[in-house]
Amino acid sequence: MSRFWKALLLLPILMSACTPSATPTLSPIPPQPTFPPPPTSTPTTVSVAEVTSTPEPLVPNFKHIVIVIFENKEFGTVIGSQNMPYFNVLAQTNTLLTQYYAPTHPSLPNYLALIGGDTFGITSDCEDCFVDATSLPDLIEKSGRTWRTYQQSMPSPCFVGSTAAYAQKHNPFIYFDPIRLDEERCKRSIVPLEQLDLDLAEGTLPNFVFITPNLCYSAHDCAIELTDAWLSSLVGRLVPALDATAEPYLIVLTWDEGQGNHSCCGLPPEAGGRIATILISPQAKSNFQDDTPYSHYSLLKTIAEAWGLPYLGHAKDDATSLILRPWK
């Protein structure tokens, strides 16, 4: 057989060997997960102030603080006394501080302690023992607030000296050189009590008010029944005027010293006695008694705390407690 025919016979076999086998079946590619596009705006930044709550103040920020101070009566002499019915109604219906003490005897150093934070080494009712020191009024003015003391029976503004009814020793403001030696400031801020009704009527009551009755109505020389009646008239004028402002206020009724030597809270072992102190305020609890040991330095410290002022003298002491429990 020729090569041609051999090749012809082998051609189907060769063609079968060269034919590709069937294409294998492949599994489909699973779909890829899709993701949202990145944000085009910058996320909002939250400041620390927005997530941090503002702490409650320790003492309310009063618009007006009024101190009315009486003379030389121990706590037990006035609390429960039938001769002071109005004072006791106020004690029962407002806040009564039952463990409040005067720093010393006699009168003058206690008054100085109330607005200066110290007795400045003064141990008598001297009239020429002036003090060159910072006092509460200086701090009040620096804070943009106003102050005035109303002294009953004082003959004229910024009067220096005493009369039969008016005692300089019950006016601590006149003892501080920065006040007394500034004539314009002194006459503006140390005024007779008659000015109070004018200020109430005109709506110009200062932020800080210090009221001293004369020697009779302070209970220094006269019966406490007269003090009680005088107080009723005063509070009856003050409270409606302050309520009408719709602003926070505090009225403090206290005494310069007691009749004993009782002491507490960092004061000398023998101090100025235990005295009845009443807080009248819409921001204070009603029918409440606070038995925390306090002193005149505590009241000064509390005023400073309310208004964000520096602490003066013994108001800085750790033993001097802030008045905290009465506030609502």
| Non-local CB neighbours of 167 within 8 Å, separated by 6+ positions | 107, 125, 215, 220
pLDDT of residue 2: 40
Q: Are 295 and 257 in contact (CB under 8 A)?
A: no
Check whether 19 has a pLDDT greater than 90. Answer: no
| Non-local CB neighbours of 105 within 8 Å, separated by 6+ positions | 257, 261, 272, 273
Local confidence band at 52 (pLDDT 50, 70, 90 cut-offs): low
Tell me how far apart the alpha carbons of residues 8 and 13 are, in angstroms, rounded to a whole number. Answer: 10
Check whether 75 has a pLDDT greater than 70. Answer: yes
Check whether 139 has a pLDDT greater than 70. Answer: yes
Check whether 21 has a pLDDT greater than 70. Answer: no
Q: Are 267 and 103 in contact (CB under 8 A)?
A: yes
pLDDT digits (tens, 9 = 90+) for 261-304: 999 999 999 999 999 999 999 999 999 999 999 999 999 999 99
| Non-local CB neighbours of 230 within 8 Å, separated by 6+ positions | 213, 217
**pTM, to two decimals:** 0.84
pLDDT of residue 45: 54
pLDDT digits (tens, 9 = 90+) for 95-107: 999 999 999 999 9
Strands (E), the chain: 64-70, 95-101, 147-151, 190-192, 208-212, 249-255, 274-280, 288-290, 294-295
pLDDT of residue 11: 40
Lowest mean pLDDT among 18-22, 141-145, 202-206, 253-257: 18-22
Tell me how far apart the alpha carbons of residues 216 and 226 are, in angstroms, rounded to a whole number. Answer: 8
Q: Does a cis peptide bond (omega within 30 degrees of 0) precede residue 157?
A: no
The pLDDT of 146-152, averaged and rounded, is 98
Give percent of the chain above pLDDT 90.
83
Local confidence band at 9 (pLDDT 50, 70, 90 cut-offs): very low
pLDDT of residue 40: 53
Check whether 10 has a pLDDT greater than 80. Answer: no
Query: What's the whole-number average pLDDT of the chain?
Result: 89
pLDDT of residue 5: 38
The pLDDT of 62-76, averaged and rounded, is 98
The pLDDT of 8-31, averaged and rounded, is 41
The domains of the chain, with CATH numbers, are 64-316 (3.40.720.10)
Nearest partner of 102 among 327, 260, 287, 289, judged by Cα: 260
**Backbone φ, ψ for residue 7 (5° rounding):** -65, -40
pLDDT of residue 55: 81
- Bridge partners of 249, per DSSP, are 64
Q: Are 136 and 168 in contact (CB under 8 A)?
A: no
